[in-house]
Amino acid sequence: MQPPEFLIDRYIPEHGFGILFGAPGSKKSFIALDMALSLAYGLPDWHGDPVLQREGRGGVLYIAGEGASGFQARVAAWKHGRLLPDGKAPDIKFLFQPVNFMRVEDILRLKETVKDHHPGPLSLIVVDTVSRSIPGADENLQKDMTVFVSACDALRAATGAFVLGIHHASKAGEMRGSTVFLGQADVVLRTGTKKGSPIVSLHCEKMKEAPDGWHDTYRMDVVDLGDERTSLKPERVDATDVEARRLTQEQQQAVLDAMQAAWEAGTPWAAAAQAKERYAPRKIAQMLGMPAEDATGYLDLWAMQGLIDVAVRDAGSKLKGYRVLGRLDETQEGREGVFG
């Protein structure tokens, strides 16, 4: 037997069915979209792991059953700062409505739609999320989930694609629902993150034809898209380095308290480096002994969470800087929208 070919080395085989799961807010959809767009643009690698380069490899279908909200911003954020092929349109189609994988008629209609709008093979189909694609079904029943897996198999047979389902974790952190998923999947990946942290761990729990049990670490960088729009873009980082620099919730709150004290004292921490000693990343770096670029990531995260903003402190001198709008423990855990 020949070793398996991978669409994305280590992560996504050329053929099969897989599950990427995690708790709400663990950025699983960002990771899936990152993979999908890298394949669609024909990039040579995904965060250093080679992407299969083959003539006629096929495009990508992304079924965003939870709606189009936020996807335009996510795609724009993904493209931000990347060196993309000149003059090449991405080979990807988005379907912004749920498909009922429990109904044979819906799967047949989907196959016909794919044939009409995307002639030729596909390399990847993303089903985001599994729960939206199985209305009325019981995730804990083996017979119901077997129907879902059979529908995915039918799509694989018709298109040649690897089918990746985006699924939720239980409160205990395990994959939700029947063991059919774990038993039938060729690949099982899990995302995890701590509340208030921009760091996401991506763990390979199962890889049928290759080594598993490993994990990589990603930092969710905030991208300012203008018009008060922001979104996130994942970047792989060194896990050891991240652990050394990660701030606890107590450390983050201490920074926010110091920031608010400076605002009330009339010497607000500034967003611009020209402010020198008032420059917020420098203040955080001095306070906690971390690199200023990492401090910038936390400032972006807190701004997206609505914890801080930049405002004018003194109208006469036009002095402005960061002010604190809330406490870290008051933020909603597991926000959706662009955070899903």
Write down the number of H helices and E strands in the chain: 9, 15
- The H or E element containing residue 224 is strand 215-226
Residue 72 lies in a domain: yes
Could you read off the pLDDT of 50-76 as tens digits, one per residue?
A: 999 887 778 999 999 766 668 889 999
Inter-residue contact 269 to 282 (CB < 8 Å): no
3-class secondary structure, 146: helix
Q: What mean pLDDT is predicted for residues 288-300?
A: 77
Same domain, 194 and 264: no
Query: Which two three-digit tokens encode residue 262?
Result: 């400076």
Q: Which residue has the tokens 């990660």?
A: 246
Residue 337 lies in a domain: no
Same domain, 218 and 263: no
Domain stops at, among 196, 225, 241 = 241
Please tell me the distance from the alpha carbon of residue 262 to that of residue 275, in angstroms, as a whole number.
14
Domain stops at, among 183, 218, 241 = 241
What is the reported pTM?
A: 0.75
Same domain, 156 and 270: no
Tell me, what's the pLDDT at 329?
Answer: 75
Same domain, 308 and 215: no
CATH code where residue 286 lies: 1.10.10
Tell me, what's the pLDDT at 335?
Answer: 35
Same domain, 79 and 200: yes
Same domain, 138 and 272: no
Tell me, what's the pLDDT at 333?
Answer: 41
Whether cis (ω within 30° of 0) applies to the bond prior to 331 is no
Same domain, 173 and 308: no
Please tell me the distance from the alpha carbon of residue 275 to that of residue 126, in angstroms, as a whole number.
46
Same domain, 136 and 26: yes
Question: Predicted confidence band at 240 (pLDDT cuts at 50, 70, 90)?
Answer: low
Looking at per-residue confidence, does 252 or 241 come out higher?
Answer: 252
Residue 230 lies in a domain: yes
Same domain, 145 and 121: yes
Same domain, 157 and 272: no
Residue 1 lies in a domain: no
Number of C-beta neighbours around residue 72 at 10 A: 13
Highest-scoring range by mean pLDDT, 51-55, 317-321, 325-329: 317-321
Tell me, what's the pLDDT at 222?
Answer: 84
Please tell me the distance from the alpha carbon of residue 259 to that of residue 20, in angstroms, as a whole number.
38
Burial grade of 236 (CB within 10 A; 0-12, 13-18, 19 or more): middle
Same domain, 290 and 316: yes
Residue 336 lies in a domain: no
Could you tell me the sign of the dihedral formed by the alpha carbons of 129, 124, 177, 10, in that order?
Answer: negative
Looking at per-residue confidence, does 334 or 78 come out higher?
Answer: 78
Domain count for the chain: 2
Please tell me the distance from the alpha carbon of residue 173 to that of residue 151, in angstroms, as a whole number.
26
Same domain, 275 and 234: no
CATH code where residue 98 lies: 3.40.50.300
Number of C-beta neighbours around residue 94 at 10 A: 16
What is the domain extent for residue 15?
6-241
